[in-house]
Chains A and B, each alone.
Chain A
Amino acid sequence: MVKRIALAQLSSCWGCDQSLLDLHFRLLDVLPELDIVYWPAVVDYKLHHLEAMPKNSIHIGFVEGSCRTKEDVHLLKVMREKSKVLVAWGSCSAYGGVQGLGNQWTLKELLERKFLKADTITDPRIPEENLPGFTESVKANPEIVPFDGILPGCPPTSDNTLEALSALLSGQPYDLPDKTVCDQCPKERREKRITEFHRTYEGKIDPDKCLLDQGYLCLGFATIGLCGAQCPTVNTPCKGCFGPPPSVKDHGAKIISALGAIADMSPEELNEAFPDPLGSFYFTDYATSFLSKIREKGRTSEK
């Protein structure tokens, strides 16, 4: 049976859509099984078409992006109401995404930087006419409405999306694996004894050996193994963009505690090596961290 599918985009980069299109010729196998009822990235249906659909009339809803504007929140709620099965597609949707790092500042500070203080701005003002307005902070979508599943990744690979979609189309369960990027990585690993961390521009990387063993902060050990270890395979440390495996609650906290165990370094030395722990340990999931939530609570109680 052909299934009705909707793909909605909240604030994000289009990368998840590009990843789906990157199935290329394999699209020819998938497309006949889909009746696309909403996908503004590719198809011309408007928001009012989606709003007019009956409740639960969409078999599968994919939501990418996170709620940076009030319009995003509205679209997310409409998608929840209309979809039988709703999937948080990509790390923005599942965890808030890279824009979650904006939660380090207040909305006022973000607006000022962009619209009032940017170097090339000639007439500063904060635009408001016929515009939705912003959310105070970025949250993971599953904290706003209930979801039936998440498929993280920045973006999820074409294969990831195809597997999830194929499972949903055939009514099979789609569960995330509890393995890590290290489990998928071809590089040779030894027992870790790190005495110094290097930044990626430093030195020469040995292409055969584990990057973390060589002192480069590769987060494969704390990151879900869905991507096929694409980055370490090309001598580039994992930044953790797929988030943690399902058993880990707080990605950065897990990384920090693990580093304490594998590095022969004092807390002061580690502090010195990582002056930006939030950016280094919560690339796409700061919005889900305990730290971000505590900060948010603090701001709310100040008001």
Chain B
Amino acid sequence: MSKEGKTIRIAPVTRLEGHGELTVRLTKTGKVKDVQFNVSSTRFFEKFLEGRFAEEAPRIAQRICGICPEPHHLASVKAVESAWKVTPPPAATKLRRLLINAKQYSSHALHFFALAAPDFLAGPFGDPALRNVVAIIKALPDVGKLALSVMQFGQDLAAAVGGKAIHPVTAVPGGMLNPFSEEKRDEFLKRVVEAKEHTLETVTLAKKVVQDYWDPITKLAVVNTYYLGMHKKGNLEIYDGNLRVMNPEGEIVADFHPKDYKKYYGEYVPEHSYATHTYYKPEGYPAGIWRANTLARVNVADRMATPMAQEALQDMRDALGRPIHATFAYHWARVIEMVQAVEEIEALLKDPDIVSTDVKLSDVEPRKGEGVGCVEAPRGTLVHNYWTDEKGIIKKVNLVVATNNNIAGIEKSLVETAKQIFEEKAHETLKLPEPMIK
């Protein structure tokens, strides 16, 4: 260690959608000076959406994220419909709910198995060659098959509704361009039975991981923040609802329609990240740092919207309470949301309206106006805000993408973890299980 201390760079942060690097600065006595989460790329969608036909925005803006294009596609179409004062037919809304739940399911499956599970199955000190989903598939064929099955179910269903799973195309202001066929409905009604079983197996696996890693989960990266998430009459909701903000003590401090988001949202621009830090504006920065995503949603919601998911949430609340500040509990909340997604998918498939051909209005007119479209993306609350002219051309855009709600919280977790590791040697004292992959 030099006189000035030491800088540790991790580049790139792996198993991440997007581009991030980590900078940890230690003082000469080994104390943590600061930690930066350097989000190192951005592509300026806010600007190059200007001048486009607004109805094309759902197909352009979703290129922000290849894991979660469905929420972008839908937040975007909702923003245009809100600006043009258009309400799609009820059957179209049900198809969109099916689409967003299919994606919620496959994205959570991908995140749990491919992005997160390697840390737990190979262990935090595992060989990088073994600490990935490819190695899991090879070493633990049963877990690998489960992972592939759940990811495939969600992706196939998203493709069936959206035309393609990655960058879907069917939502348009006024409805959906393609109805859902009875053949496809019947196919997925059969497949959803197995998907439900696989989801419960995933919950069991997640609970084993929680038991094995109880020590780090409850002690490492436990940070108090605000939480942001959508609900409908208190139920956890991802397509259309109000937004709630919960303070670190667990009190709901705001409950508002997404069109009023500017009153509650602030975006702090750090010196060291191209992704802004979104926060609870009335509280200021950094006091108002909030987190979104799975744990935030289950914190702000009174209950899950479906029975099996509610049971799974009750398990977690019995173990960890509410609100839960343990960052690792995001993974547990993720599989609980998978349960809700598969239950919602089943209910929607059983609804006769899902094969209705009345899914698109034919008299939509563009208007001059401002519209806000908001949904829950897998990684958090997503806002698209467009201004259009009388011909329906986009004049201005404001986007608050899901992940930006978490960047400041991630950094807070990293500071806490760095202190625990570098100052308290937590990695030597925390109880860790034998890794399943060696």
Q: Could you list which residues of chain A lie within 8 angstroms of chain B, going by C-beta atoms? A: 9, 11-19, 21-22, 24-25, 27-28, 31, 36, 40-48, 68-69, 71-72, 97-99, 101-102, 104-105, 109-110, 113-115, 118-132, 154-155, 199-205, 207, 230-231, 233-236, 239, 241, 275-276, 279-280, 283
* CB–CB A119/B398 < 8 A: yes
Q: Is the CB of A99 within 8 A of B48?
A: yes
Provide the B47-85 mask, 1 if CB < 8 A to any CB of A, else 0: 110011101100110011111010000000000000000
B residues less than 8 Å from A12 (CB atoms): 66
Contact A200 B63 (CB under 8 A): no
Q: 16 more A-B contacts (CB under 8 A) besides A40-B14, A42-B14, A200-B177? A: A15-B66, A18-B110, A22-B155, A27-B137, A36-B134, A98-B63, A119-B385, A119-B398, A127-B271, A127-B274, A128-B271, A205-B177, A207-B178, A234-B163, A234-B169, A279-B51
Q: Which residues of B contact A283 (CB under 8 A)?
A: 60
- A231, B169: Cα distance in complex, Å: 7
When the two chains form their complex, are residues A11 and B19 in contact, meaning their CB atoms are under 8 A apart? yes
Complex alpha-carbon distance, A192 and B59, angstroms: 26
Chain B interface residues toward A at CB < 8 A: 10-12, 14-19, 21, 23, 36, 38, 40-48, 51-53, 55-56, 59-60, 63-67, 69, 110, 114, 118, 128, 131-134, 137-138, 148, 151-152, 155, 163-167, 169-170, 172-174, 177-178, 261-262, 265-274, 276, 278, 281, 285, 360-362, 364, 385, 391-393, 398, 400
Say yes or no: B114 contacts A24, CB within 8 Å. Answer: no
B66 touches A47 (CB 8 A): no
Tell me the minimal C-beta distance from B179 to chain A in angstroms: 9
Task: Determine which of A9, A120, A234 lies in contact with B178 in the assembled complex, contact meaning CB atoms within 8 Å.
Answer: A234
Rounded to whole angstroms, the CA-CA distance of A174 and B415 in the bound complex is 48
* Complex alpha-carbon distance, A171 and B42, angstroms: 37
CA distance A16 to B69 in the complex (A): 12
User: How far is B41's CA from A71's CA once the two chains are assembled, in angstroms?
Assistant: 9
When distances are taken between beta carbons in the complex, the residues of chain B under 8 Å from A28 are 137, 148
* Overall SS of chain A's interface: loop
Q: Smallest distance from the beta carbon of B99 to chain A beta carbons, Å?
A: 12
Closest to A103 in B: B48
Q: Of residues B43, B47, B285, which shows the largest number of chain A Cβ atoms within 10 Å of its Cβ?
A: B43
Knowing A14-B17, A97-B63, A234-B170 are in contact, say whether A46-B271 is a contact too (CB < 8 A). no
Closest B residue to A28 using CB positions: B137
17 interchain pairs (CB within 8 A)? A13-B64, A13-B65, A15-B69, A18-B66, A24-B151, A28-B137, A36-B134, A44-B132, A48-B11, A120-B266, A122-B281, A199-B55, A200-B172, A205-B177, A276-B51, A279-B60, A280-B53
The CB with the most chain A CB atoms within 10 A, among B46, B64, B151, B392, is that of B46
In the assembled complex, how far is the CB of residue B197 from the closest CB belonging to chain A, in whole angstroms? 17
Contact of B391 among A11, A114, A275 (CB under 8 A): A275
CB of B423 to closest CB in A, whole Å: 22
CB–CB A204/B137 < 8 A: no
Q: Is the CB of A40 within 8 A of B12?
A: yes
Known: A15-B69, A69-B41. A201 touches B173 (CB 8 A): yes
Pick the residue among B11, B36, B40, B67 that contacts A14 (CB under 8 A): B67
A154 to B178, CA, bound (A): 21
CA distance A126 to B269 in the complex (A): 8
Residue on A nearest B126 in the bound complex, by CB? A44
Q: Are A43 and B128 in contact (CB under 8 A)?
A: yes
Q: Is the CB of B163 within 8 A of A201?
A: no
User: Which B residues are in CB contact (< 8 Å) with A121?
Assistant: 267, 269, 276
Provide the bound-state CA to CA distance between A24 and B272, in Å. 37
- Beta-carbon contact of A202 and B364 below 8 Å: yes
B41 and A68 form a contact (CB under 8 A): yes
